[in-house]
Amino acid sequence: MLVYVAAWLCALSTTLMPQWVTLSTELLVTESYQQGLWETCVVQDLGGLECRPYDSLLGLPQDFKLARSFMCISLALGLLGIMLAIPGLHLVKSCGHGLGALRAKRILKVVSGVLGLVSGVMSLLPVSYVAHLTVERFFDETLPKVVPRWEFGDALFCGWVAGFLLLVAGVLLLASCQGPLVEPSRGHLTDSPRRYEVKNSSRKPPEYV
């Protein structure tokens, strides 16, 4: 559960960070540019940072449109998985008592684990796709060498970590559902409903003269 929450927070940071791709030119050594899913930023060496959100969704590059959609879906599925996993924990008293409650908890954990796996895949796809296009554009031989090239930003590495942790959280939740359902014992008196009676001895008591 801790891995699940940490992975979701990491995916949220990836979605909000503007450092998806970065660019620095030799003409302006004191400035560098950052491009994210929601805004573009100009970073100065003196510590200044100026960000401007995108004017419209249609003006975004195609890869960033897909990345924004996939990351939002990943966050929604991950949050739903966390909300389902909490009542499925054994430490949380929910779903009543007995084998029926254990089955309900197991179903909640299975659904939460599947959602974690899907959320991890949905997080890895846009990050890997943007990284792939960045590599292709960086080594594009049709462009002159003097043209600046976009490079990997910190958000891509954060996104890979988030996707990997989401997959790990989903696998751990599914692995915790293995094995037969065993109702926890409530004490020695309720474990064995049978009552044992002392049998009368067939021998007669000795007679004294």
* Mean pLDDT, residues 124-151 taken together: 85
- The average pLDDT across 159-177 equals 93
CATH of the domain at 111: 1.20.140.150
Please indicate, yes or no, if residue 128 is contained in any of the structural domains: yes
Mean pLDDT across the stretch 135-143?
A: 83
Residue range 171-193: mean pLDDT, rounded: 63
> What value does the mean pLDDT of the chain take?
81
Containing structural domain, residue 174? 2-17+60-178
Domain assignment present for 174? yes
In a domain, 112, yes or no: yes
| Per-residue burial over 184-196, b = 16 or more CB atoms within 10 Å of its CB, e = otherwise | eeeeeeeeeeeee
Q: What is the pTM of this model?
A: 0.77
Q: What is the arithmetic mean of pLDDT over 176-203?
A: 52
Nearest to 49 by CA among 29, 32, 27: 32
Q: How many domains does the chain have?
A: 1
In a domain, residue 45? The reply is: no
On whether the CB atoms of residues 49 and 41 are closer than 8 A, the answer is: yes
Q: Which of 14, 2, 5, 30 is nearest to 156 (CA)?
A: 14
